[in-house]
Amino acid sequence: MKHHTRAAVSVIFRIVLACAPLLIVGSLWGQPGPGDSKSAQKFSASSIQIERMDPGDVPMPPEFRVAIYEHLITEIGKTGKFQHVYRSGDKDAASAPDLVTLRTTAQSFRKGSQKQREVTTVSGSSSIILKVNITDHAGKTLVDRNVEGKVRFFGENLRATYDFSKKVAAIVQDSF
């Protein structure tokens, strides 16, 4: 009886030893990377205020700034994550209890050329890169990353602003 028990223990011990490296490898594989950790964490807020884009030192035409802002309002509203999407300066935002604030700062801008894009297919792309920062009511940063919007082939240059806003909306969707 004792002999059988010892044999069983040794077999189980060997199986555990054999499985240990697999478990270690599996746990390392399954660990979220530094980029994933941001999207894995979920925050909650009932309302968001979108501030005006800060152009910084980047020379960006006003129509791009306005298009970015208006697309952001539309696309973030479409996510359905917030009861209210407040515009910058809206007096009602002050009374919102758990308000988060989205700020965008221009990092780089290339206007490109629709004609060049469509004729050559390899040059003339439009690109905008903005830093997207979302903070809570206390000012704590919840999301902080650079997002690029671009038009590679078809469409007007302003379409880069739509591409950017869709990507920001996807980040908001993952974060809230």
Per-residue tokens: 159: 């379409």
What does the angle CA 156 – CA 55 – CA 111 come to, to the nearest 5 degrees? 25
Per CB under 8 A, 122 contacts other proteins: no
Measure the CA–CA gap between 72 and 133, rounded to whole angstroms: 13
Per CB under 8 A, 88 contacts other proteins: yes
In the bound state with other proteins, the residue whose beta carbon lies nearer, of 96 and 175, is: 96
Measure the CA–CA gap between 145 and 102, rounded to whole angstroms: 12
- Size of the residue set binding other proteins (CB under 8 A): 24
Smallest separation (angstroms) from other proteins to the CB of 136? 21
Per CB under 8 A, 69 contacts other proteins: yes
Q: Which of 47, 81, 82, 86 binds other proteins (CB under 8 A)?
A: 86
Measure the CA–CA gap between 123 and 153, rounded to whole angstroms: 9
Per CB under 8 A, 82 contacts other proteins: no
Tell me the Cα Rg of the chain: 25
Measure the CA–CA gap between 38 and 55, rounded to whole angstroms: 25
Q: Give residue 30's identity as a one-letter amino acid code.
A: G
Per CB under 8 A, 67 contacts other proteins: yes
What does the angle CA 144 – CA 149 – CA 155 come to, to the nearest 5 degrees? 165
Q: Which of 58, 66, 129, 142 binds other proteins (CB under 8 A)?
A: 66
Question: Restricting to residues 39-58, which ones interact with other proteins according to CB under 8 A?
Answer: 52
Q: Which of 3, 4, 42, 91 binds other proteins (CB under 8 A)?
A: 91
Contact between 79 and 169 under an 8 Å Cβ cutoff? The reply is yes
Question: Restricting to residues 6-45, which ones interact with other proteins according to CB under 8 A?
Answer: none
In the bound state with other proteins, the residue whose beta carbon lies nearer, of 64 and 176, is: 64
- Positions in the binding site for other proteins (CB under 8 A): 52, 61-63, 65-67, 69-71, 86-92, 114-115, 118-119, 154, 156, 158
